[in-house]
Amino acid sequence: MDDFGFHSGISWESVAPGNIRSEAHQHNQSDERHLECKESPTSVPERSIVRKAHPTPYISGKPPYCKLETLWGLFIETGKSPMIRVLKKLRSLKKLGVTCRPRAVKAVTECFSSLTRLESLRLRSRDLLGQPAVLNLSEMKGSPSLSKVYMLGSLESVPSFSSVCKNLKVLTLSMSRLKGDPMEALYDLKDLIVLRLLARSFTGKRLDCKAGFPKLRILKLWMLEELEVLVVEQGAMRSLEELEIRQCEKLGTVVGLELIDSLKSVSLTGVDEGLASIWKKN
């Protein structure tokens, strides 16, 4: 469903053999997981991929893994993990998928200002049982090139994306449990094209789309269990082409869609029966 092709796993590094000393022989092969590392054509050839749980790296010289462009499946347990130091040095990184324990999120997000070429970010917070956990984005630093963001985990409020990644084009939020209307914080993202508010990303009853979202073409609202009303104000989402609403079972009122001339497709699944009947007649 997402744009990232994410592979999950546990704590890895990709480094040249001469730059790391580890006790890899102590770990059973069952501890290994998969890591996909794509490099630029000019990167150093003949690279070894060291995969093991909870690595203890010792970096010396100029590490060649700095030329990595894609890193999926990174897992970081604490804010003092050696991988925090490594992550800051991956200045060629364009795509990053990382899962953290809640206590590591703050340290990880502080690294983003160093990743000036980062274009795609998938950030997840999970607790010891693997369930979505708190995402502390108070120290999140942006990257001018960041255009795609997926976040899984509970948020106190919507981050100020317009200041930390003002060129954002695709945003997906899941399990955010936002109480306040996220549309109020996102409407000034002038380049946003795709917005997905997925499972329990919003726990309120009403979404108000105010004038804004000038380039938004796709809006997806999935499994917002408490949502009852969706309002689109005059001048909002004037480029919207596709609206998809799934499993918002309490949603009974949608107002203002007739104001959007560009709208080509409306899909309603698992909404209030009265609303579904009205749309079928129309």
The pLDDT tens digits for 17-49 are 333 333 333 333 333 333 334 444 443 333 333
- Can you give the pLDDT at residue 55? 43
The SS3 of residue 111 is helix
Long-range pairs of 38-47 with CB within 8 A, sequence gap ≥ 24: 38/68, 38/69, 38/70, 39/67, 39/68, 39/69, 40/67, 40/69, 40/92, 42/67, 43/67, 43/68, 44/16, 47/14, 47/16
Contacts of 236 (CB under 8 A, 6+ apart): 187, 209, 210, 211, 212, 213, 256, 259
Confidence of residue 113 (pLDDT cuts 50, 70, 90): confident
Q: pLDDT tens for residues 228-272?
A: 999 999 999 999 999 999 999 999 999 999 899 999 999 999 988
Contact 35, 73 (CB under 8 A): yes
- Can you give the pLDDT at residue 249? 93
Query: Across-strand partners of 253?
Result: 229
Q: How far is residue 203's CA from residue 223's CA, in Å, rounded to a whole number?
A: 10
- The whole-number average pLDDT for the span 122-132 is 96
- Residue 278: φ, ψ to 5°: -60, -45
The model's pTM is 0.77
Greater confidence (7 vs 184) lies with 184
Long-range pairs of 257-264 with CB within 8 A, sequence gap ≥ 24: 257/232, 259/232, 259/234, 260/232, 262/238
- Can you give the pLDDT at residue 53? 35
Find, among 76, 94, 95, the residue nearest to 86 by Cα.
76
Average pLDDT score, the chain: 80
Greater confidence (45 vs 67) lies with 67
Query: Across-strand partners of 245?
Result: 221, 268
Greater confidence (76 vs 67) lies with 76
